[in-house]
Amino acid sequence: MNRDPVHFSSLKQMALSPAHYRYSVDHGVDETRAMRVGSVVHALVLGGPYHLYEGERRGKAWSEFRDEHADGHTIVTSSEYEDAAAIAAAAIADPVAAQVLAGPHQTELTLEWEWLGRACAGRLDLVRSDVVVELKVSNSAEPDRFERLAFRLGYHAQLAWYLRALGRPLSSRAVIVVVEDKPPYPVTVRQLTERALEMGEKQCRLWIERLLCCEAADAWPGYAQTVIPLDVPEWAEDQALLIDGEEVAL
């Protein structure tokens, strides 16, 4: 089993199961178009390298370009770059986002630390003396929808993880700048409450304690290790089934 430092991107897979965590560590995550666009948005807003390929991801020319630029930096096509540039421009132009993105700061800051004796690591988007900032590209920056999305994806846990890396208390200022990935590219800035960060800290601790147990036993179970009864849940009691295209009441 890989015993490299624990990264949040893998640790959060513990919310699904230890099997998901191990697969994430062993195999990584398949890169998607959205991920490539998001990486270049970060590079344009925060500063950072990337490679622009003016062609399609196929054929000999693509293979040669990919091999020549296998340095770990994101490779994007012209259309991916155009999307990223529009999103990044919206983030830079937003006056509320500018307040947390401006001023003396460090970007793409890599940190290593220990928690419960386990090596951990993380790369923070932007750090100032008074705030930690995460830049997110999302399909919705609408406040209510993004709130549900943020907790489902564990953004509150991610920011708590970064505050621990910095040695800052959970009362510290932690902010998410979220930009919608389609025109008109609205931007919303969310500041996490101490209560949200405390919940995130508890989740991270639960996940890392479970990880330590799995590593000690070299056991990586899936969702369950026992037979689980399947009964009619309350929400399904008044539902109907579709059998051969016909609606049949339960």
Average pLDDT rounded to a whole number, residues 2-13: 92
Residue 1 confidence (pLDDT) above 60: no
Residue 17 confidence (pLDDT) above 90: yes
Residue 250 confidence (pLDDT) above 60: no
The domains of the chain, with CATH numbers, are 16-221 (3.90.320.10)
The per-residue pLDDT for 237 is 74
Among the residue ranges 14-23, 103-112, 236-245, the one predicted with the least confidence is: 236-245
The per-residue pLDDT for 239 is 66
For residue 76, which of 60, 53, 92 has the smallest C-alpha distance? 53
Among the residue ranges 101-110, 129-138, 164-173, the one predicted with the least confidence is: 101-110
Report the chain's mean pLDDT, rounded to a whole number.
93
How crowded is residue 39: how many other Cβ atoms within 10 Å of its Cβ?
20
The per-residue pLDDT for 247 is 55
Rounded Cα distance between 250 and 248, Å, is 6
Average pLDDT rounded to a whole number, residues 64-75: 92
On the 0-12 / 13-18 / 19+ scale of CB atoms within 10 A, 168 is: middle
Please report, for residues 15, 88, 225, the alpha-carbon distance to residue 19 in angstroms, rounded to integers and kept in the order given: 10, 36, 12
Average pLDDT rounded to a whole number, residues 52-71: 92
